[in-house]
Structure 1
Amino acid sequence: MMRLFNIYVLCAILIVPLVSCEHKELCYDHDSHALKYHVNVKASYEQEWQYTYGDATDWEAEWPEELSMSYESLRPDIPEGLRILSFDETGRQEMKNMPASGGNLILSEGSHSLLFYNNDTEYIVFDKLESFATARASTRTRTRSSYMGNSYSQTKNEKTVSAPDMLYGNYLEKYTPEKVVVAPDMDITMHPLVFTYVIKYEFEHGLQYVALARGALAGMAEAVYMNSGKTSADVATILYDCTIEDYGTQAVVNSFGIPNYPNDNYLRTSDRYSLNLEVKLKNGIVRNFDFDVTEQVAKQPHGGIITVSGIKISDEDGKQGSSGFDVDVNDWGEFEDIEIPLD
């Protein structure tokens, strides 16, 4: 009898930790089975670098063979992460970061406005995020002491900026979550808010004398409103570096697009857009060229190809100096661009 009693006691001792473990597991897993206001965000990305409008050239179908890249290679990558700003009915804001593909978003009771954008930008400056109605994105200020504006520009003394990096966005004006155990799916398509211009400077003579090249695209939108994708009416000049190609110089430049667009009252001829090219020759001489590209840019409000031609460097300029060529000309010296850091 005593032996049987000992067996019962031993069994009871062994069962206790098992029950305890099971109880702990149930407690640990309790939250996933609780009712809450949440939704499963599933994000996809519209990887477009330009849109064709009206009678503009369809670059996907008519790609210039002389370019050193393909149309497909310019498509923006999927970002590293997604950020969601939620605004409840009182205006209170909450921020949630998640993988680029999405994830579980927990909300409070009631209606919310939801703002979606990628969280891996380097040059984008986010402003007025305290309200979904005013939230906008701009880019860093960049200065170039040798750039004195463009003779074709409509606005003198435009703010000069760096090109923005890729920004995607979407916005839901009103979403009311249900209190459920299993979160419903929310499919979100992230649209591009930054577009790309391939800029071609075609040389007629003297390209062999060029050591360095850089440019400026004037008259472009300074910012974009994140709840609509409409660009601001404020204008800015984008500063950038160029590469030297067989036909001349080239740049791949990101931009928010043209100002105040889209707009039902938009008129193509109402704004002016201009290009600048600054080249430093191998003998150290610097030359500048300005171009009016209003017609080309107006047809391409969201990315495309801009081409200017007939550029000449005279032999007199190119061969000036004792040796004619200085292989040590590899930077802009005291005229390097200065990028204003974020606070």
Structure 2
Amino acid sequence: MKCGKKLINNGQTVPAFIRMRKWIFLYLLFLLAGCERRELTYYNTAEITLTVDWSQSGLNNAEEAAYGASAIFYPVDGGEPKIFLLGNYSQETVRLQQGVYNVIVFNRSFTDFSNIAFRGGDRYETLEAYNKKTETRTAGKKGIRTVIAPPEKLAAATVTDFAVTQDMLGNYTRTTTTGKAAYQTAADDENHTLHLILQKRTSEVVTLIRVKGLNNIRSAICRLDGISESVFLATGEVSAQSISQEFALTNPVFDENSSRNGTLTGTFNVFGIDFSQSHQLHIEAQLVDGKTFFTGDYDNVQVTEKDNGEGIVTIYVEATTDRIPDVEPDGTSGSGFDVDVDGWGNEVDTDVPLQ
């Protein structure tokens, strides 16, 4: 027998490379048969835990919690934003692919608001909430674009440059936190968790209208100009475009020892108000005779704001009307002022500044 060849029964020989291929094949069969059946899994997402703090939003209540919240992750490279609905108001987990994201979290969802609509949602910087219900109201010879239904309360938090790295993929048994957040307090490298503290994107406006002849008014509405049309969720900056806000005056309170003079109040939400300009207030009132209407425009409007130290800003508006003319009641509401007519709406208990 010569090296590299093997004699078989018919006297022929088998080359060495054929025998080698045979042994390699048998070895591979042995490995496959001896190993357990293990599937190779390739993860392309990471699990991120979002924790949400509502203490500075004015929305830390069960009624608002029932709506949940929304989280939008905008890829920094310009890819399609990823939207997650957070059924749990305070904590939720989401799964993200590798990449760098800018994040916006806000209360409710895009479709849960009656008086707020959204635009510019394809980019982080341009996502904008605006007044959904507006009409053009006549003032003299011109029309004024007016909000007829104020926005609901809105709050948001943002995170910029949040990175999902390759080593985070498939981390479904643990959580991690990285990223730079505008309202982020958690920075534990061992926990991949985003902690967000939501801030208000709307402010409450409390108006106090001093009325001479309050006993002659049955119902009244106001229109206040200089109201911001919209707000950008990422920055909290309001748009340069301003409009007017219409609201009802309620809660008539007569001055002490007076049956004629007193105050009316109105409370509503706005995205913002321009403090750099003077404001005008327009009032329309139906008097108790059922047929007389009183209208007035006032420039002596004081607009101030107060922060409670916890991120809750209240805007106060004060004005004084001309004397309301005396009229005879039409008999449907007795003599003098009637607080039970439908036009007044519900009574509102609100602390207002008194000079």
Q: Cα deviations across residues 186-228 of structure 1 (Å, max 9, x unaligned)?
A: 1100100000011011112x21121111111211110001110
CA RMSD of aligned residues (A): 3.3
**TM-score, normalised with respect to structure 1:** 0.66
Alpha-carbon distance in structure 1 between the residues aligned to 2:114 and 2:233? 17
Residue 300 (structure 2) pairs with residue 312 (structure 1): no
Residue of structure 2 equivalent to 1:282: 288
1:42 equivalenced with 2:51 (yes/no): yes
Describe how 1:182-201 pairs up with structure 2 within 5 A.
182-183=174-175, 184-201=192-209
Identity among equivalent positions (%) equals 17
User: Counterparts in 2 of 1:51-90, with a 5 A limit?
Assistant: 78-79=64-65, 80-88=67-75, 89-90=77-78
CA distance in 1, matches of 2:285, 2:70: 41
Distance 1:77 1:293 in 2: 38
Give the secondary structure class of the aligned counterpart of 1:272: coil
Which has the higher mean CA deviation after the structures are superposed, 214-223 or 39-48? 39-48
Which residue of 2 is the match for residue 55 of structure 1? Answer: none
State how far apart, in whole Å, the 2-side matches of 1:297 and 1:77 are.
Answer: 30
Q: Which amino acid aligns with 2:117?
A: V
Structure 2 stretches lacking a partner, 5+ long: 1-38, 176-191, 254-261, 344-355
Report the TM-score when normalising by structure 2.
0.64
1:148 corresponds to which of 138, 147, 165: 138
How far residue 93 of structure 1 moved from its aligned partner, in angstroms, is 1.4
Residue 297 of structure 1 and its aligned partner are, at CA, apart by: 4.6
Structure 1 residues 295 and 331 mapped into 2: Cα distance closer, same or farther (>3 Å)?
A: closer
Map of 2:83 onto structure 1: 95
Letter in 1 for 2:232: Y
Larger Rg, first or second structure (1 or 2): 2
2:208 is the counterpart of 1:207: no
SS at match of 1:307: strand
| 2:267 equivalent in structure 1 | 252
Higher RCO (CA-CA < 8 Å; seq separation 6+):
1
Q: Structure 1: 5+ residue runs without aligned partners? A: 1-26, 50-72, 260-267, 333-343
Tell me the equivalent position of 2:145.
159
Distance in structure 1 (CA, Å) of the matches to 2:140 and 2:300: 12
- Given the superposition, is the C-alpha separation of residues 234 and 76 from structure 1 closer, same or farther in structure 2, using an over 3 Å criterion? farther
Query: Is contact 1:82-1:102 (8 Å) kept?
Result: no
Alignment of structure 1 residues 4-15 onto 2, 5 Å: none
Pick closer, same or farther for the CA change 1:118–1:48 going to 2, 3 Å.
Answer: closer
Matched, 1:133 2:121: no
Which of 146, 154, 172 is the matching residue for 2:159?
Answer: 172
Distance in 2, Cα, partners of 1:278 & 1:175: 52
Q: Which stretch shows the higher mean deviation, 126-135 or 294-303?
A: 294-303
Tell me which of 84, 100, 105 is aligned to 2:94. Answer: 105
1:311–1:105 distance in 2 versus 1, CA, 3 Å: farther
Amino acid of the residue matched to residue 250 of structure 2?
Answer: T
Please give the per-residue CA displacement for 1:26-74, whole angstroms capped at 9, x wherever unaligned.
x9xxx9xx7841211110124466xxxxxxxxxxxxxxxxxxxxxxx9x
Instruction: Please tell me the residue identity of whatever aligns with 1:136.
Output: E
How much does 1:238 deviate? 1.1
Q: Find the residue that maps to 2:215 and give its secondary structure.
A: helix
After superposition, the C-alpha distances for 1:219-245 in whole angstroms (9 at most, x for unaligned) are: 111000111000000001111112141
- The count of corresponding residues between Structure 1 and Structure 2 is 257
| Code of the aligned partner of 2:98 | E
8 A Cα contact 1:121 1:166, kept in partner: no
Higher helix share: 1
2:236 aligned with 1:229, yes or no?
yes
